[in-house]
Amino acid sequence: MLNPQIKAAEALRARPPATMTDPVELLAFVRQAQRDAVDAECGPALPLPVVVDVDAGGVPCRLYATRADAPVFVHVHGGGWMYGSIEAADRVSRRIADRSGCAVLAVGYRLAPEHPFPAALQDVETVLTFVRKSAAELGVDASRLAIGGDSSGAHLATIAARRQRDAGTPLDYQVLIYPVIDPLLASESFDELGAYGLTRESMRVAWETFIPDRAQRLTPDAAPLAADLTGMPPTLIITAEYDVLRDEGADYADALLSAGVPVVHTRYMGVNHGFARKLAVIDAARAATDQVASALRTQLTF
């Protein structure tokens, strides 16, 4: 059964009128509506000792920390590669920093359609390079480095993690919350769960906007399952029962396990796509965020 808190959360964000059909106008409306709903959906900002905006090699970021020389979690927000921001993910970043003891570096990567693939991926990789080079200046310990995010942010995170492995600079851990994995949109959950928010059509538009070239979508830098997954970092995957991305997240967990990668896959019941950042209104959001924090604390070895 769908948790009634999901419906309560949906009522907190403005929806575009049916008469609004221009893509540019719709994009601007949805971006603004998400910004306007942050306080209602996510609650007040948890105060932390360190919250500072950072220019990470030209990529805007925000650093959250509770102590010096902490391990680093690079946090990549979701939003179909077209929406989302550091501000939209701010409350989750703060909660993870507070409960994990890690420094969290939130990435303000460039969005499509203004900046299509590979701009967002390049920005995430720029941030990883910056963290390693500027750890002393930031007051963090980049020798213990994890990455993660939700939805399209999880997609960027795991592609970046695989590329870091290939470059000989492997990351220590990855956190993937209802990750986008399959550009073919082939899993059965798309047929079963399209009435609960995210749909096959909305994901088709997201993929086409982010990577207009269909052939490019099938390469390892876009489709995580097209790559050899041996040697990927230990992984936490969180999926949602009423999410069209549920099955591809589970398939990715299975593929990582088959490649010998340690994986914990947790499915949160009664919730849909996007639940995890709505800390003020969905109990499971707080549980999932705290699970992420606990895993980071354990994996990055305090």
Q: Give the model's pLDDT for residue 302.
A: 63
Condensed to tens digits (0 to 9), the pLDDT of residues 56-83 reads 999 999 999 999 999 999 999 999 999 9
- Tell me what the mean pLDDT of segment 207-213 comes to: 98
Residue 22 has pLDDT above 70, yes or no: yes
The proportion of the chain whose per-residue pLDDT surpasses 70, expressed as a percent, equals 100
Contact 177, 275 (CB under 8 A): no
CATH class of 4-299: alpha beta
Q: So what's the pLDDT on residue 32?
A: 96
pLDDT in tens, 160-186: 999 999 999 999 999 999 999 999 999
Say how many CA atoms lie within 13 Å of 274 toward its Cβ: 20
Q: What's the pTM value of the predicted model, to 2 decimals?
A: 0.98
Half-sphere exposure of 183 (CA within 13 A, CB side): 21
Burial class from Cβ neighbours inside 10 Å (0-12, 13-18, 19+) for residue 22 reads exposed
**Backbone region of residue 72 per phi and psi (left: phi > 0; alpha: psi in -120 to 50; beta: other values):** beta
- Per-residue model confidence as pLDDT tens digits over 182-192: 999 999 999 99
Structure tokens at 207: 């993929």
Question: How large is the angle between the packed helices 90-100 and 283-299, nearest 10 degrees?
Answer: 50
| Cα–Cα distance, 285 to 15 (Å, whole number) | 22
pLDDT value of residue 144: 98
pLDDT, the chain, mean: 97
Catalytic residues, by residue number, are 151, 243, 273
For 119-169, the pLDDT digits (tens) are: 999 999 999 999 999 999 999 999 999 999 999 999 999 999 999 999 999
Q: What is the pLDDT of residue 149?
A: 98
Task: Write out pLDDT tens, residues 102-118.
Answer: 999 999 999 999 999 99
Q: Where are the domains of the chain?
A: 4-299
pLDDT confidence band for 201 (50 / 70 / 90): very high
Structure letter (DSSP) for residue 240 = E
Q: Is the pLDDT of residue 217 over 70?
A: yes
- What is the average per-residue pLDDT within 195-210? 96
The residue-averaged pLDDT of 220-232 equals 98
The pLDDT score that the predictor gives to residue 301 is 76
| Count of positions (residues) in the chain | 302
Residues 230, 250: Cα–Cα separation, whole Å: 17
